[in-house]
Amino acid sequence: MTGSAAGSTLIELSGIAKTWPNGIGALTGIDLDIRRGEFLTLVGPSGCGKSTLLKLIAGLTRPTQGRVIARGGPPRIGFVFQAPTLMPWARVSANVRLPLDLARMPRAHADARVADALARVGLVAFAGSLPRELSGGMQMRVSIARALVTEPDLLLMDEPFGALDEFTRQRMDGELLALWSAQRLTVVFVTHSIQEAVFLSTRVAAMAARPGRIVDAWEIDEPCPRTDAFRLSPAFAAHAQRLSLRVAEAGGSELDRAIAR
Amino acid sequence: MTMQPDRRERWLRIIAPACVGVVVLALWQALVVVYRVPVYLVPSPLVVARTLVSDRVLLFHALASTLGVALAALAVAIVAGVGAALLFAQSRWIETSLFPYAILLQVTPIVSIAPLIIIWVHDLWVALVLCAVVVAIFPVISNTTLGLRSADPGLADLFRIAGASRWQTLWRLRVPGALPYFFGGLRIASGLALIGAVVAEFVAGTGGASAGLAYQILLAGMQLDIPRMFAALALIAAAGVALFAVTSVLAHAALARWHESELPREP
In a domain, B210, yes or no: yes
In a domain, B41, yes or no: no
* H-helix or E-strand spanning residue A191: strand A187-191
ipTM of the complex: 0.87
Domain holding B103, by residue range, is: 56-255
Distance set, CA B87 to CA A83, B74, B93 (Å): 30, 19, 11
Number of domains in chain B: 1
Whether chain A has a CB inside 8 Å of the CB on B266: the answer is no
Q: What whole-number distance in Å separates Cα of residue A8 and Cα of residue B129?
A: 69
Nearest to A77 among B152, B161, B263 (CB): B161
In a domain, B168, yes or no: yes
Nearest-CA distance from A86 to chain B in Å? 7
Chain A hits for B152, Cβ within 8 Å: 85
Per residue in B133-166, pLDDT (tens digit) is 999 999 999 999 999 999 999 999 999 999 999 9
Per residue in B211-228, pLDDT (tens digit) is 899 999 999 999 999 999
In a domain, B243, yes or no: yes
What number is the average pLDDT over the span A170-192?
90
In a domain, B6, yes or no: no
Do A85 and B163 make contact, defined as CB atoms within 8 angstroms?
Answer: no
Q: What whole-number distance in Å separates Cα of residue B69 and Cα of residue B117?
A: 15
Residue A257: predicted pLDDT? 52
pLDDT reading at B209 higher than 70: no
Nearest-CA distance from A88 to chain B in Å? 6
pLDDT band at A116 (very low <50, low <70, confident <90, very high): very high
* H-helix or E-strand spanning residue A213: strand A213-219
Do B258 and A89 make contact, defined as CB atoms within 8 angstroms?
Answer: yes
Do B257 and A130 make contact, defined as CB atoms within 8 angstroms?
Answer: yes
Residue A3: predicted pLDDT? 44
In a domain, B117, yes or no: yes
Distance set, CA A177 to CA A80, A187, A201, B99, B130 (Å): 15, 10, 9, 51, 64
Per residue in A179-189, pLDDT (tens digit) is 898 888 999 99
pLDDT band at B230 (very low <50, low <70, confident <90, very high): very high
pLDDT reading at B267 higher than 50: no
> Nearest-CA residue of chain A relative to B170?
A102
Chain A hits for B173, Cβ within 8 Å: 87
Phi, psi of B67 (to 5 degrees): -65, -35
* H-helix or E-strand spanning residue A218: strand A213-219
> Which domains does chain A carry?
9-75+185-261 (3.40.50.300)
Do A89 and B159 make contact, defined as CB atoms within 8 angstroms?
Answer: no
Give the closest residue to A40 by CA, choosing from A199, A151, A205, A154: A205
Mean pLDDT of chain B: 91
Chain B hits for A150, Cβ within 8 Å: 162
Domain at B102, CATH number: 1.10.3720.10
**Touching B: A residues 50-109, CB under 8 Å:** 55, 58-60, 77, 79, 81, 83, 85, 87-90, 98-99, 101-103
In a domain, B2, yes or no: no
